[in-house]
């Protein structure tokens, strides 16, 4: 591990000053400290923000939920409002990691970095870690890599399960920076690799995530998360599906669907959603909608199986949430 300085801040102004000077924010440290041990990350200064007042879950005026950035994954998953209003978020958090790792924060969870093994091996070529060095995964072992949103520079998946549920529900990320507060749609927060895979979030220098806000959605809302992986515990998704449906009078009035384990960012599925709207739940509908889930996929040598697996994962979860299974 490379030497670094450590400072603990007690208010947001102090944090932003430290962030503006190039300090890296430290909350649960689950990803950052891990990567520092492997010398993938080499920050000069860590700014411990755990004393900031960002640990509340509140119902918004419009009936949505605002989850503070320092709320832990365990706290969010167990919170009564999260469980009752958005089971898809609660389930995604519970399936994310072992109980020990769910001390990680919501802010840290959506900021976590890829599990690409070449990224974590400092002897391998990796454009994300070392821009311009190449991508060892393109012609290496790429079974777990992305099939959607990839570029010639990087094909790594985003590893967060919670981010898939938040993307499906069209959450907003609240940020605070030297120039004030702003909030941006989740879909704009995480960036596809393009030619700059080292840039992963639409954050300005020194900006701090303060909360994630899930919008109010029409009720009743059924939702749930399905994760397919090589083993049942402590494993990342090969494919996953977050689904939320508002069904009234036997007709689907609102559909929110996103996939994980397949994209360089959590992969929203608007064509699947459009196919569901205004229709009555049926086996044929789930199958026809899910058939569109992998549109635009560019599989690699070892991950062609994900195309079919993604469609089946989405179909299965539509069936479960839609109430025909
Ligand atoms: Fe690096 Fe991305 Fe290639 Fe993995 S897929 S080696 S993270 S550039």
Report the percent of the chain where pLDDT is more than 90. 90
Q: Whose CA is nearest to atom 3 of ligand 1?
A: 135
Instruction: Kindly give, in sequence order, each residue whose CB lies less than 8 Å from that of residue 61, ignoring residues fewer than 6 positions away.
Output: none
What is the reported pLDDT for 102? 59
Average pLDDT over residues 135-164: 97
Please give the distance, rounded to the nearest whole angstrom, from the Cα atom of residue 320 to the centre of ligand 1.
34
- Probe target for ligand 1 pocket from 140, 149, 155, with the most ligand atoms within 8 Å of CB: 155
- Probe target for ligand 1 pocket from 112, 132, 136, with the most ligand atoms within 8 Å of CB: 136
Quick one: angle between helices 305-322 and 283-290, nearest 10?
150
The answer, yes or no, to whether residue 97 has pLDDT greater than 80, is: no
Ligand 1 pocket by C-beta < 6 Å: which residues? 114, 116, 118-119, 126-128, 135-137, 154-156, 197
Strands 24-26 vs 57-59: parallel, antiparallel or unpaired:
unpaired
- Probe target for ligand 1 pocket from 38, 114, 117, 118, with the most ligand atoms within 8 Å of CB: 118
Distances in whole angstroms, Cα of residue 215 to Cα of each of 130, 221, 234, 245, 288: 37, 12, 30, 14, 28
On average, the pLDDT of the chain sits at: 94
Average pLDDT over residues 12-24: 93
Q: Which domains does the chain have, with CATH numbers?
A: 1-51 (3.30.43.10), 57-111+160-214 (3.30.465.10), 222-322 (3.30.390.50)
Chain segment 303-312, per-residue pLDDT in tens: 999 999 999 9
Comparing CA positions, the residue from 176, 187, 172, 148 lying closest to residue 297 is 148
Q: 231 pLDDT band (50/70/90 cuts)?
A: confident
Please give the distance, rounded to the nearest whole angstrom, from the Cα atom of residue 136 to the centre of ligand 1.
7
CA Rg value for the chain: 19
């Amino acid at each position: 591990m490379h030497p670094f300085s450590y400072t603990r801040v007690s208010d947001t102004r102090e944090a932003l000053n430290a962030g503006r000077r190039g300090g890296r924010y430290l909350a649960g440290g689950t990803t950052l400290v891990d990567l520092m041990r492997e010398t993938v990350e080499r920050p000069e200064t860590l700014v411990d923000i755990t004393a900031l007042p960002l640990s509340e879950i509140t119902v918004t005026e419009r009936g949505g939920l605002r989850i503070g950035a320092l709320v832990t994954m365990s706290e969010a998953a167990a919170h009564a409002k999260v469980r009752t209003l958005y089971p898809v978020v609660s389930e995604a958090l519970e399936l994310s990691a072992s109980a020990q790792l769910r001390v990680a924060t919501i802010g840290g969870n959506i900021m976590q970095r890829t599990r690409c093994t070449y990224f974590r091996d400092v002897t391998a070529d990796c454009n994300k870690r070392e821009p311009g060095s190449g991508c060892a995964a393109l012609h290496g072992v790429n079974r777990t890599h992305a099939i959607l949103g990839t570029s010639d520079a990087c094909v790594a998946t985003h590893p967060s399960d919670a981010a898939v549920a938040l993307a499906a529900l069209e959450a907003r990320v609240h940020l605070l920076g030297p120039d004030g507060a702003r909030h941006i749609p989740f879909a704009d927060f995480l960036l596809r690799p393009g030619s700059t895979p080292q840039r992963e979030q639409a954050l300005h220098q020194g900006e701090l995530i303060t909360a994630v806000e899930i919008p109010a959605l029409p009720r009743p809302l059924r939702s749930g998360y399905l994760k397919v992986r090589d083993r049942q515990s402590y494993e990342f998704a090969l494919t996953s599906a977050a689904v939320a449906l508002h069904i009234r009078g036997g007709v689907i009035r609102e559909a929110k669907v996103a996939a994980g384990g397949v994209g360089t960012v959590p992969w929203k599925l608007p064509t699947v959603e459009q196919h569901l709207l205004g229709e009555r739940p049926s086996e044929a509908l789930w199958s026809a909608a899910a058939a569109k889930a992998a549109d635009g996929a560019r599989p690699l040598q070892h991950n062609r199986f994900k195309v079919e697996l993604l469609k089946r994962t989405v179909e299965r979860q539509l069936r479960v949430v839609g109430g025909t299974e």
